Amino acid sequence: MSATAAELLAVLGELRPEDREGRPRPLALATLVAVRGSSYRRPGARLLVREDCSTAGNLTGGCLDAEIVEAARDVERTGAARIVTFDLTAEEEAVLGWGMGCNGVLDILVEPAESARAAGHVLAEAVSARRRATLLTLVSGTAVGRRWWQVDSEEPTGGADAGPPPSAVRSALAAGRSGLVTLPSAAGEVRAFVEILQPPPRLVVCGAGVDAVPVTRRAAELGWDVVVVDDRRLVLDPDRFPPGTALIVSAAGTARELPVDDNTYVVVMSHNFLRDRDYLGAALRTNARYIGVLGPRLRLQRLLDDLARDGVLPTERDGLRLHGPAGLDLGAQGPDEIALSIVAEVLATSRGRSGQEPVSRPYALDLAAEPAA
């Protein structure tokens, strides 16, 4: 999904009257459903428009907010959702148009806040409970904005009397792929936007030393679930860690079972060899997507050798998720920079990236070339 779980919860939370805390009434919800070409954000990004024209969320970096607010007023007045398209591909657009220069065509679903409330409540609850949710929204035909949703593998909910047959909806939801799909309906084919919504990453930090604090702080800033495990009660002081951090006292000297689901990332960093061995052994027995171990690679090998003598043998899959030393090679020095490198590596892993290849390379300027006419 394009929107992070933290962004999604912040936007959807305002659709619930009890969560608005005196803020102005939400007017409409705008969702980017398709991009052709380049764009600041990808499909799934959202922008909530309030009645005082203030906004929450982010779709285009603010460049199209005025136009989206105007569309929000229109759909609130008519009560009907609609697709608004912005074509930014013309060469002169960057100068004479919105000034974005993104060279893409954006399709944005703008719907009354009331229409989005039911699905928004279900999705917010699912993400908060660390459950996967899949959302299917019609973006063409006579029922634009109608949607179905599915939490885990439960029966789909929502929809309308007129629309794609239930079998087509189930098939699209079960496919597990985000993007636009074409579905049959009684009135002809319709397009729908399918979105996979995952709970935020859970970061389990094994060891509550001084250098664990900046790791938890950076993870919390991204809206991740943060858990710290240590067998020393004194260092598990809530005042040392960001609000909401779960603190677990392990059994005396050994690692208890770690709170891991399939979107969990473990960092072993207690600085104590025996304690780290226990944490690493516990992590290897889970389905954590990432296991990072602080310290040089030689130390990780010693930990693995010690575990092997106790019959804990890493598999080929373990080799793919083990990272030692933990963190991207940023040349980091000191706890704060090392924390940044670790959280960056976890983020890359959560997005299916290695973090090793640069996003862009230095641009080769031809200083001798004549300016284009």
pLDDT digits (tens, 9 = 90+) for 98-150: 455 467 889 999 999 988 888 888 888 888 888 999 999 999 998 999 999 99
Model pLDDT, residue 89: 78
pLDDT of 93 higher than 70 = no
What would the DSSP string read from start to end of 202-236? EEEEE--STTHHHHHHHHHHTT-EEEEEES-GGG-
What order do you get walking across the sheet with 190-197 strand by strand? 157-158, 147-151, 133-138, 190-197, 179-183
Q: How far is CA 87 from CA 107, 154, 165, in A?
A: 9, 38, 32
Min mean pLDDT across 52-56, 62-66, 272-276, 302-306 is at 62-66
Of the candidates 212, 267, 218, the residue with the CA atom closest to the CA atom of residue 235: 212
Model pLDDT, residue 91: 56
pLDDT digits (tens, 9 = 90+) for 191-237: 999 999 888 999 999 999 999 999 999 999 999 999 999 999 999 99
Mean pLDDT for the chain overall: 87
Q: Are 254 and 282 in contact (CB under 8 A)?
A: no
How big is the CA angle at 14 (ends 105 and 137), to the nearest 5 degrees?
Answer: 45
46-63 mean pLDDT: 86
Min mean pLDDT across 71-85, 209-223, 255-269 is at 255-269
Max avg pLDDT among 152-156, 174-178, 295-299: 295-299
Could you tell me how many residues make up the chain?
Answer: 373
Of the candidates 55, 105, 110, 53, the residue with the CA atom closest to the CA atom of residue 79: 110
pLDDT digits (tens, 9 = 90+) for 173-189: 999 889 999 999 888 89
Buried b (16+ CB within 10 A) or exposed e, 163-175: bbeeebbbebbee
Residue with tokens 């699209």: 172
pLDDT digits (tens, 9 = 90+) for 23-41: 788 999 999 999 988 788 8
Residue with tokens 């959280």: 343
Q: Are 71 and 53 in contact (CB under 8 A)?
A: no
Per-residue 3-state assignment (H helix, E strand, C coil) for 319-364: HHHEECCCCCCCCCCHHHHHHHHHHHHHHHHHCCCCCCCCCCCCCC
Q: How far is CA 68 from CA 1, 81, 208, in A?
A: 21, 13, 46
Model pLDDT, residue 368: 61
Residue with tokens 């960056």: 344
* Pairing label, strands 264-268, 290-293: parallel
pTM of the model: 0.84
Residue with tokens 């079998």: 167
* Pairing label, strands 147-151, 264-268: unpaired
Q: Are 288 and 264 in contact (CB under 8 A)?
A: yes
Model pLDDT, residue 96: 41
pLDDT of 291 higher than 90 = yes
How far apart CA 222 and CA 165 sit, in angstroms, is 39
237 Cβ contact partners less than 8 Å away, ≥ 6 residues apart = none
Model pLDDT, residue 254: 65
Q: Please tell me what DSSP assigns to residue 240.
A: G
Model pLDDT, residue 353: 86
Model pLDDT, residue 95: 40
Model pLDDT, residue 255: 67
Q: Which residue has the higher pLDDT, 324 or 21?
A: 324
CA 59 from chain centre, in angstroms, equals: 15
- φ, ψ of residue 364 in degrees (nearest 5): -85, 100
Q: Which residue has the higher pLDDT, 315 or 90?
A: 315
Model pLDDT, residue 292: 97
